[in-house]
């Protein structure tokens, strides 16, 4: 299975599928449609049925039941796109029998995976690591998930002695820019519940995620020649700095963990005349999330009272919500994944996602959808790496979950 996973993953990441948050099309980049066509062909080749890619780029397929027993229909989902933070790599660098030492990724820039920065590398001594060239991301988020799902389906088709109910798979575009399931047809997908294969290290199992919003701030200044600016100039950049300084210092990502929420300034542009700030707001607790949004409005109102009406405007848009409230009523689906891991000798690490997945929005669309590890580390950047043995374990978990639905 290891060679099959490696070959498939290497093929998948050669497709550039970076999403584009500034695009007005869906999906946001045509390359995702090209990779979708490839997946359609491969799913048909391995023996899946009802394989299709719709006009939005969603690729879906069915593994038919091979038992007369009435069982729930289960789904597995991963996303096609990679993060726009960095371009993707053409092929992984393969480090066999990892020796537990620092890994130089790019000698020219002295970019390295070091044990000081990434001590968890010690967990993978003796394993096969897939790493970047130090200039790109790897694409394990989430082509590792796609690889594992396709490989699991292929295994079950080749081993009909494993009895199972109907299984559906779906591969979605634009997850990384928060639009992964905008047009996803839950009714047509036809599952009782599903799992996204989009988590990190082995054992991760998540059914809680952030409530999320985006805040767009615009500040209108007044630019006057500095020699004649007394009592006339209003510097939009300084107001922007003042606004940011009013946010709680220890509610920034670098100071938070576990269930602690944050404000993050993701972009700032400005001149004396105009300034813009873009923030994301995150919290697992819905009440605290609403308080954070209200605090933003309070700051804006204060600055307008200080500098003049409509000097500062703020548009806040909710992005997704914590799936916990939708999964808790069907918590047996989390237990199903936990038990599958335990049977495979994997210790489940049930934890909140400090982010979001397609599963969050799908849960609110009526498809409860916890998230399972895909095996990668350090997503969205040049330090991303993926132990091949972790992919094997993720594939085994998929197969075991499907197998255990018989019980």
Question: The CATH number of the domain where 228 resides is what?
Answer: 3.30.70.360
Domain boundary (320, 351, 379) is at 320
Beta bridge partners of 18: 82
> Do residues 164 and 74 lie in contact, with contact meaning Cβ atoms separated by under 8 Å?
no
Same domain (yes/no): 197, 71: yes
Number of domains present in the structure of the chain: 2
Domain boundary (281, 303, 320) is at 320
Residue 407, pLDDT > 80, answer no
Report pLDDT digits (tens) over 286-307.
999 999 999 999 999 999 999 9
CATH number at residue 394: 3.40.630.10
pTM for the full predicted model = 0.89
Beta bridge partners of 88: 137
Report pLDDT digits (tens) over 196-223.
999 999 999 999 999 999 999 999 999 9
Beta bridge partners of 197: 372
DSSP 307: H
How many residues are there in the chain?
407
Same domain (yes/no): 229, 272: yes
Same domain (yes/no): 315, 343: no
Binning pLDDT at 50, 70 and 90, where does residue 172 land?
A: very high
Same domain (yes/no): 128, 72: yes
Same domain (yes/no): 380, 231: no
Distance in angstroms (rounded) separating the CA atoms of residues 374 and 146: 9
Catalytic annotation, pick one of 81, 174, 176, 358? 81
Instruction: Identify the domain containing residue 256 by its residue range.
Output: 211-320
Contacts of 335 (CB under 8 A, 6+ apart): none
Same domain (yes/no): 184, 326: yes
Same domain (yes/no): 82, 176: yes
Distance in angstroms (rounded) separating the CA atoms of residues 399 and 124: 23
Same domain (yes/no): 84, 29: yes
Same domain (yes/no): 119, 38: yes
Catalytic annotation, pick one of 42, 154, 175, 283? 175
> Do residues 366 and 346 lie in contact, with contact meaning Cβ atoms separated by under 8 Å?
no
Residue 30, pLDDT > 70, answer yes
User: Do you find a cis peptide bond into 27, omega within 30 degrees of 0?
Assistant: yes
Same domain (yes/no): 40, 162: yes
Same domain (yes/no): 122, 141: yes
| Catalytic status, residue 175 | yes
Sheet containing strand 385-387, strands side by side = 93-95, 129-131, 385-387
Residue 163, pLDDT > 90, answer yes
Report pLDDT digits (tens) over 95-116.
999 999 999 999 999 999 999 9
Same domain (yes/no): 107, 57: yes
């Amino acid at each position: 299975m290891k060679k099959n996973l490696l070959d498939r993953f290497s093929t998948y990441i050669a497709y550039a599928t970076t999403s584009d948050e500034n695009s007005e099309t869906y999906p946001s980049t045509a390359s995702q449609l090209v990779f979708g066509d490839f997946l359609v062909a491969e799913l048909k080749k391995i023996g899946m049925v009802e394989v299709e890619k719709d006009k939005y780029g969603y690729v879906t397929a069915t593994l038919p039941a091979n038992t007369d027993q009435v069982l729930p229909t289960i789904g597995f989902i991963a996303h096609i796109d990679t993060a726009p933070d960095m371009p993707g790599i053409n092929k992984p660098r393969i480090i066999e029998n990892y020796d537990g030492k620092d890994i130089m990724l790019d000698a020219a820039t002295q970019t390295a995976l070091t044990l000081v920065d990434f001590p968890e590398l010690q967990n993978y001594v003796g394993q096969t690591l897939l790493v970047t060239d130090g200039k790109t991301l790897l694409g394990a988020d989430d082509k590792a998930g796609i690889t594992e799902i396709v490989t699991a389906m292929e295994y079950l088709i080749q081993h009909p002695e494993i009895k199972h109910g109907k299984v559906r798979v779906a591969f979605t575009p634009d997850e990384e820019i928060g639009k992964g399931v905008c047009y996803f047809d839950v009714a047509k997908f036809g599952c009782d519940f599903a799992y996204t294969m989009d988590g990190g290290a082995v054992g991760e199992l998540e059914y809680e995620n952030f409530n999320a919003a985006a805040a767009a701030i615009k500040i209108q200044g007044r630019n006057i020649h500095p020699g004649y600016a007394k009592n006339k100039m209003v510097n939009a950049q300084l107001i922007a700095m003042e606004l940011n300084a009013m946010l709680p210092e220890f509610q920034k990502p670098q100071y938070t963990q576990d269930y602690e929420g944050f404000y993050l300034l993701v972009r700032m542009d400005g001149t004396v005349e105009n300034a813009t700030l873009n923030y994301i707001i995150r919290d697992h607790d819905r009440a605290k999330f609403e308080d954070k949004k209200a605090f933003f409005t309070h700051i804006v109102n204060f600055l307008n009272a200080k500098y003049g009406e409509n000097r500062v405007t703020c548009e806040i848009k909710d992005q997704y919500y914590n799936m916990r409230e939708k999964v808790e009523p069907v918590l047996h689906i989390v237990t199903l994944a936990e038990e599958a891991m335990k049977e495979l000798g994997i210790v489940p690490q049930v934890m909140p996602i400090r982010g979001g997945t397609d599963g969050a929005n799908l849960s609110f669309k009526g498809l409860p959808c916890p998230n399972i590890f895909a095996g990668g580390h350090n997503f969205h950047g040049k330090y991303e790496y993926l132990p091949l043995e972790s992919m094997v374990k993720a594939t085994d978990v998929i197969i075991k979950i499907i197998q255990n639905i018989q019980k």
